[in-house]
Chain A
Amino acid sequence: MSSSLIRQDLVPIVIGYALLMGALALGLHLVRRSAPESGTAEARRPEPAHRPGPGGPRARALAPVPEAALTDPGAAPAASPARRGLRAVIRPGPGWPRLILHYLGTAVGGYLVLMIVIILYYYLVAPVAGNFVQSAFTGCAMLIGLTAPVFLAASWLAERTGWRF
């Protein structure tokens, strides 16, 4: 088998196979690991999280802090207003700000991961002819720019009309 045949046919197949099987193995591992964790968490939890009525999460949030927690020196200190504001920015409440932040984090993170992979592939595996890297940077950014408004509009429609896509 010639070396060009190995480079052209076998290497992409092996890389694709490794990526696919790696993702599947990771998913399987995560599923198996999360199953016992969720079981022990359920066993530890004395009551359901979404129980309506006076014992619900809103009532618990409004309940007064026990005095022992205020006087206990080992207890965690209350967050300062600045830290609370930073936390509200980093992890806002449910709604559009959280959705947009979640989307932006995923899009930027995924874009950067892909660019790193493409650069490593270009310089370490196969220097693809043409403007491969430049096209990857601009083309993927264009795809994100095109799909973001569609995604947000679809989310708005689903929220407003109750449609499920």
Chain B
Amino acid sequence: MAQHPVIGYFVWALLFGALFAWEGLALSHLSGSVPTLSATFRAIQRYPFGRWALFAVWLWFGWHLFVRGWHFLLRA
């Protein structure tokens, strides 16, 4: 496994932390104008290109999780 500087992992943690913090703020109703992630996805899915983009993201995620670097079970 390649060695990466800690700052790279730290930035990823910061990004995901910010994402969950933003979602938490939206769910807490402290700020009535912040849409939740699901509301944002619903808004995006109203439009064909938004649906395509979300499906592409889902496909990309599934491709990385289940397909890339994967071999048939008994294949050498």
Contacts and interface: CB of A to CB of B under 8 A. Distances in A.
B41 A136 contact: no
Given A111-B59, A114-B59, A26 B44 contact: yes
B11 A143 contact: no
B56 A114 contact: yes
Given A20-B19, A114-B56, A31 B51 contact: no
Contacts of B53: 23, 110, 113
Contacts of A139: 63, 67-68
A147 B11 CA distance: 33
Given A28-B40, A31-B35, A140 B15 contact: no
Contacts of A105: 48, 51
Interface residues of A, number: 34
Interface in A105-148: 105-107, 109-114, 117, 135-136, 139-140, 142-144, 147
A16 interface: yes
B75 interface: no
B14 to A, nearest CB: 10
Contact of B63 (A26, A109, A140): A140
Contacts of B19: 20
B52 A5 contact: no
Given A8-B4, A17-B15, A20-B19, A27 B60 contact: no
A47 interface: no
Contacts of A110: 51-56, 58-59
25 contacts: A9-B4, A13-B11, A16-B15, A20-B15, A20-B19, A26-B44, A27-B43, A106-B55, A107-B55, A109-B49, A109-B51, A109-B52, A110-B51, A110-B53, A110-B54, A110-B55, A110-B56, A112-B52, A113-B49, A113-B56, A117-B56, A117-B60, A142-B67, A143-B59, A147-B62
